[in-house]
């Protein structure tokens, strides 16, 4: 083990005082590289999870837009926090958050000012002074980025709420037992 990580191995093993770990520069470099690798791996897991969610929202929004369906509750975007009496903004799903954070205008290396910056999304509302060819419609008519209806506070769903995914395994078992019963009933000869 000492040789594997680069400890000096010329010390007698029977002498307890000499068993202290004396790291060579090579050993320290190996330990440092392992620590950096572990830190990078934990960071990429968090980044990839948020990236997967952003891609899922983007695909769902494109599907709604393709079918001409609106997103009135901003299910496929990112909702801004309620601020005063004005409407809430629904930014594009890839934004990560819907506020005026420092890098909201360059998300994913592109010009995302009118898609990710809350104040700009609200300024681009149709009928609010933005040109008609680039204005953002209400979420009742369009997909994110859009402007949510005024007077209503939209929030994200409660993560502990019951969903279809919560009982998925029970649903599979129930379906299989019903399917087995149907096959069994179909294999019996009809009663005369």
Dump pLDDT digits (tens) for 115-167: 999 999 999 998 888 888 999 999 888 888 999 887 777 676 677 777 766 77
Which range among 36-40, 52-56, 160-164, 184-188 has the greatest average pLDDT?
Answer: 184-188
* Maximum distance among all Cα pairs of the chain, rounded to whole angstroms: 94
The single-letter DSSP state of residue 7 is: B
Cβ–Cβ under 8 Å, residues 78 and 97? yes
Kindly state the tokens that stand for 67.
């079918």
Backbone angles phi, psi at 146, to 5 degrees: -155, 180
Q: Give the pLDDT of residue 17.
A: 44
Q: Give the pLDDT of residue 57.
A: 72
Q: Give the pLDDT of residue 93.
A: 86
* Number of neighbours of residue 2 by Cβ within 10 angstroms: 14
Q: Give the pLDDT of residue 65.
A: 67
Residue 145: is the preceding peptide bond cis (ω within 30°)?
yes
The single-letter DSSP state of residue 125 is: B
Higher pLDDT, 62 or 11: 62
Q: Give the pLDDT of residue 180.
A: 92
Q: Give the pLDDT of residue 5.
A: 46
Nearest to 69 by CA among 138, 125, 149, 142: 142
Helix (H, G, I), strand (E, B) or coil at 99: coil
The b-or-e profile of 134-173 (16+ CB within 10 A means b, else e) is ebbbbbeebbbbbbbeeeeebeeeeeeeeeeeeeeeeeee
Alpha carbon 171 to chain centroid, angstroms: 26
Nearest to 31 by CA among 8, 7, 5: 5
Mean pLDDT of the chain: 76
pLDDT tens, 72-103? 888 888 889 888 878 899 998 888 889 999 99
Q: Give the pLDDT of residue 66.
A: 72
Q: Give the pLDDT of residue 160.
A: 77
Q: Give the pLDDT of residue 16.
A: 42
């Amino acid at each position: 083990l000492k040789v594997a990580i680069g400890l000096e191995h010329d010390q007698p093993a029977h002498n307890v005082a000499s068993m202290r770990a004396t790291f060579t520069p090579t050993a320290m470099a190996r330990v440092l590289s392992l620590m950096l690798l572990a830190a990078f791996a934990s960071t990429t897991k968090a980044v990839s999870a948020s990236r997967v969610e952003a891609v899922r929202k983007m695909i769902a929004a494109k599907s709604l837009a393709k079918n001409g369906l609106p997103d009135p509750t901003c299910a496929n975007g990112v909702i801004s926090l309620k601020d005063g009496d004005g409407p809430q903004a629904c930014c594009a799903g890839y934004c990560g958050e819907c506020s005026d954070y420092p890098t909201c205008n360059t998300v994913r290396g592109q010009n995302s000012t009118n898609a990710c910056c809350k104040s700009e999304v609200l300024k681009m509302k149709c009928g609010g002074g933005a040109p008609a060819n680039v204005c953002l419609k209400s979420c009742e008519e369009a997909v994110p980025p859009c402007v949510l209806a005024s007077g209503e506070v939209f929030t994200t769903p409660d993560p502990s709420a019951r969903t279809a995914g919560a009982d998925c395994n029970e649903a599979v078992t129930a379906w299989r037992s019903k399917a087995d019963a149907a096959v069994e009933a179909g294999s019996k000869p009809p009663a005369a």
